[in-house]
Structure 1
Amino acid sequence: MDRSSKNSDRELAINELQNREQMAIKASMIGMIVNGALSFFKIFIAIITGSIAILADGIDTATDIITSLLTLIASKISNKPADESHPFGHEPAETIVTKVLSLVIIYAGIQVLKNAIQSLIIGNYMIENAKLVLWISLISIFTKYGLYKYKYRVGKRIKSSSFIADALNMRNDILTSFSVFIGIIFYLLFDITWVDPLVAIIVSMFIFRVGIRMFIETSDEFMGSSRELGEIYSNILEATKKFDNVFNPHKIRVRKAGYVYFVEMHIEVDEKMTIREANDIASQVEKEIKKVNPYIKDVIIHVEPLGNKEKEGYGLDEKSIKRIFGNK
């Protein structure tokens, strides 16, 4: 990647940070309106047709209104500035909401599984005007796909784990609606009712997988670990290498909080430097790190004399970063 491309990416990131709340509100409102309309029509059609599958799908879609509301609340809270009670800022609210969303998704999977098993036990059931179920499930598939792509794109742009989680939940809904579609096709063509609950059981497994994965990832984040930290460590090394008088960046530790990152690190400088000179260098390194990646919110740098030997706590240096994360 050339210098002009990197500068363009940084300017884009800064612009997205400034417009983050507006983008989140717009995406959440669109999600609530679309899901509200879909849920209403699914439940209405379930009442007039007697379809258990589309009723379950409608209830599942209704929970998406709650998830969209939660992501909106999370974005509002996370964009608040730091205060006396929250000196590190409010960004962790997004991680908390993502954790809640993972539980909502797991619960939805349980409901889908329970309804499917009940349908298998009960046996055959009659559906009036089955073509209505066919059309609403087909509409739901395409609508949910559009919402998934839109919310996932917004989540990536604003670095929101809760939005990405909500998008993955939309993707689950595509599978749910598709299972209803397949089931009603078999009902119309072959008068087979047991295919619908059987497919729903398979879909519930996919839903569980996504929910459990998100639950584990947010747990890692609470514990100070995250999959995308390799890029942040590389950004730190990239910034420190621009200074000829800065040596041996080590004991580097990065903590993710929502969509921002906090960095602690040690550097070595010439022992003949004055305290003021060493402090100025540390300030320059901090500014450069934040310049390389605008999502790095705070950097704490401990300055040591060149060749310093002492027993220190755990942290990463250039060698261990390359070993753990490769050349990210």
Structure 2
Amino acid sequence: MNDEMRFQKAKRVSLVSILGNLTLTIAKLVAGFLAGSTALVADAFHSSSDLIGTIILLKGMQIAHQPADENHPFGHHRAETITSEILAFILMITAAGIGYKGFQILTSNHITIPGAVAVYIAIFSILSKELMYRYSAKVGKEINSDAIIADAWHHRSDAFSSIAALIGILGARMGMPFMDPIAAFFVAILIFRAGVQIYKKAVSSLMDTAPSNETLNALSEIIINVEGVKQVDDLRVRYYGSKMIIDLKISVLPELTVEDGHNVAGRAKARIMEKDARIQDVLIHVNPYYTR
């Protein structure tokens, strides 16, 4: 899949998310205020943070798919990772605000019992958000985008928060009014946890954390089976946004000419590039192989 197709898929899923989040934000806010549900209003602010996050995501994906230039010779792929960090911060800030509001209401004497409309909106939100999660996660995995997957988890966390809101609303309507602000507080915890997880993954990518041993072993197996490669001396792989860059040292027979060694390295690079579409570049250093 080329970068243009990848961006078009990301753009399509982002526009679906924007439309869905806008609809849910308005519905939850109106229903929350009319029905007097703190949990549903809190859930509406969560949906609004998703809306803002998706707009940022769309811009980040647009930057990430710009071609390499003089100042960015490896491209702009890390814009996706930076976007993931921004989305994580939005989630955590939103969680802090919701939690504080829920605590304020819980400690006050003005807890209202939500109206029936809040129940229907919460159920509608759960179903809508789960469908949006499944669609976004599918596309995110298909195009290997951490930013899209992070946005998908925004939808899933919103579905969870709507479940918590529904429990709080039902509890309040069954004679336990304190359940509604408690649900809002629980929603905040779920959102904050999702934000921390997304942020940690983004930081790990920016720190050039190596992929799994399974990935490294699979690459080593490909390289050692290339004609002319006698030994894999060193293999380092780092993520660059959604892409991977590989630094590799191989050993070849010392009697080979420079051109022959170059050809071995070329074959190795071609085989590696065929392995995974995420691999952007392979840098290979050739050493002489001596038996001991």
**TM-score normalised by L of structure 2:** 0.94
Shift of 1:299: 0.3
**Deviations for 1:172-228, whole angstroms, at most 9, x for unmatched residues?**
1112111211111112222x11112223333322322221122222112111105x4
Q: Is the 8 A contact 2:3 2:65 kept in 1?
A: no
* Identical residues among aligned pairs (%): 28
Distance between the aligned counterparts of 1:291 and 1:173, measured in 2? 38
Superposition deviation, residue 159 in structure 1: 0.7
Q: Is the alpha carbon distance of 1:125 and 1:230 closer, same or farther for their aligned partners in structure 2, counting shifts above 3 Å?
A: same
State whether structure 2 residue 102 is matched by structure 1 residue 116: yes
Task: Identify the residue that residue 253 of structure 1 maps to in structure 2.
Answer: 236
Equivalent AA in structure 1 for residue 194 of structure 2: V
Q: 1:222 aligns with which of 206, 209, 217?
A: 206
Indicate which of 25, 35, 45 corresponds to 2:21. 35
Aligned counterpart, 1:166: 151
Match of 1:64 among 50, 73, 79: 50
**Contact 1:99 / 1:214 at 8 angstroms: preserved in 2?**
yes
Contact 1:151 1:166 in 2 (8 A): yes
Secondary structure, counterpart of 2:186 in structure 1 = helix
Query: Please, which moves more after superposition, 15-24 or 214-223?
Result: 15-24
The answer (yes or no) to whether the contact 1:261–1:296 under 8 Å persists in 2 is yes
Contact 1:16 1:158 in 2 (8 A): no
Contact 2:245 2:280 in 1 (8 A): yes
Match of 1:125 among 90, 111, 118: 111
Aligned with 1:206 (options 190, 202, 206):
190
Task: Give 1:256 shift.
Answer: 0.2
1:142 maps to what in 2? 127
* 1:236 correspondence with 2:226: no
* 3-state secondary structure, aligned to 1:19: helix
Structure 1 residues 223-263: Cα deviation after superposition (integer angstroms, max 9, x where no partner): 1105x443442342132132242022122111101111000
Gaps of 5+ in 1: 1-14, 310-328
Q: Distance in 2 between matches of 1:206 and 1:85?
A: 40
Q: CA deviation at 1:308?
A: 8.8
TM superposition score normalised by structure 1: 0.84
| Secondary structure of the structure 1 residue equivalent to 2:248 | strand
Distance 1:223 1:307 in 2: 35
The equivalent of 1:268 in structure 2 is: 251
Check whether the contact 2:237–2:245 (CA below 8 A) recurs between aligned residues: yes
Residues 202/57 of structure 1: CA separation in 2 closer, same or farther (3 Å cut): closer
Aligned length: 292
CA distance in 2, matches of 1:43, 1:202: 19
Q: Which residue of 1 aligns with 2:136?
A: 151
CA-CA distance at 1:16 after TM superposition: 6.7
2:195 aligned partner, one-letter code: G
The answer to whether structure 1 residue 26 and structure 2 residue 12 are counterparts is yes
2:43, 2:162 within 8 Å by CA — same for their partners in 1? yes
- Contact 1:117/1:197 (CA < 8 Å) preserved in 2? yes
Question: What code does the residue aligned with 1:122 have?
Answer: S
Preserved contact between residue 35 and residue 116 of structure 2 (Cα < 8 Å): no
Aligned counterparts of 1:108 and 1:143: Cα–Cα separation in 2: 21
Partners of 1:76 and 1:264 lie apart in 2 by: 28
Distance 2:36 2:189 in 1: 25
Aligned counterpart in structure 2 of residue 47 of structure 1, from 23, 28, 33: 33
| Cα distance in 2, alignment partners of residues 45 and 109 from structure 1 | 21
The equivalent of 1:193 in structure 2 is 177
Secondary structure of the residue aligned to 2:111 is coil
Deviating runs (4+, > 4 A) in structure 1?
A: none
Native 8 Å contact 2:39 2:165 kept in 1: yes
SS, match of residue 174 in structure 2: helix
Structure 1 residues 308 and 63: alpha-carbon distance in aligned structure 2, compared to 1, 3 A threshold: farther
Q: CA deviation at 1:65?
A: 1.0
For the residues of structure 2 that align with 1:220 and 1:186, how far apart are their CA atoms?
Answer: 41
Change (3 A) 1:18 1:236: farther
User: Tell me, which stretches of 5 or more residues in structure 2 are unaligned?
Assistant: none
Of 269, 276, 301, which aligns to 2:284? 301
Question: CA RMSD of the aligned region, Å?
Answer: 1.8
TM-fit CA distance, 1:72: 1.2
